[in-house]
Amino acid sequence: MKESKLVKIAKYIEDNGLELADLSINGLGYASIGILYEIDKEWKYFDSKELGFYLLIVVFILNIVFGVLILRKRRRLSEYKIKVENLSNKVQLLENDIENLYSDFFSLFNDQLAIIYHRLNFTANERISVYRHKNSKFEIIGRYSLNNKLAQVRRKSYPDSEGFIKNAWESENGEFSLNNLPEFVDGQKQKYYRAILKECAMPADSLRDIRFKGRSYYLKSLTDSANLNRKAIIVFESFETDKFDSETINSILEEEDQRLTLFIEKMKTNGNENDLANIKGF
């Protein structure tokens, strides 16, 4: 909301009241003294020069008082600025510590995904990603693949209203699988897209934005430690067909469930709940 001129004037007077008072006293005081000396008039009990002399003493004393007050104010402001600067430096150090802490936390989480990856004997044709559900979207919080190109993250989040993620998230058992998508090659690209749209709803721009043109997918919802609410989705993707055996994957996930759940529930940033992916640099 834009401040009115009256409010701006009031704030200016509040911030500079002592200086304005000192200037006013100097201006009016010395002007009055000059006038009294200039008129050189006598009254019954005193004359104008005598009154001017007393007024000079009063103005001089007030100058000293306001000068001391202004110096104290400036010293307090200087001390306040130093404190603010010190606190800002401490906040920056804390933010750096938090960033390093969560960067390490992400690395540990990706190590956990690597354990699952290698237990399933995956190759450089596969990758595992985990998305946490928050505010009607899924935010990526971890990804692992032997293939560095597949491990890269370009898109940080997806809406929960489209794609295979929506199918898994809303299904009765919290799962979704697809094992025989056509190969994405020249001459069959539209066939690939049509096969995806046959399985899920997805806007055209999101469809074209898919970089991993996998042929096998398996998605499973992950619940909280009390097994009451779904919190995230783990996504398995492969360039090969008929790659994923859900029973084998679920058996390993059950064994790793406690550690996975712990990581997901502990992955919280500061009170603003910023994107976790930003900390890791996704």
User: Residue 260 in contact with residue 112, Cβ under 8 Å?
Assistant: yes
Please provide the average confidence, as pLDDT, over all residues in the chain: 81
Query: Would the CA dihedral through 23, 29, 30, 35 be positive or negative?
Result: positive
- Smallest CA-to-CA distance from 207 within 141, 245, 162 is with 162
Mean pLDDT of 218-228: 90
Nearest CA among 257, 217, 261 for reference residue 240 = 217
**What does the pLDDT look like over 121-155, one tens digit per residue?**
999 999 999 999 988 899 998 999 999 999 988 88
Which pLDDT tens digit goes with each residue over 72-98?
877 877 777 788 787 777 777 766 665
Highest-confidence segment of 1-5, 42-46, 81-85: 81-85
Cα–Cα distance measured from residue 223 to residue 231, given in angstroms and rounded to the nearest whole number: 5
E strand residue ranges, 206-273: 216-223, 230-238
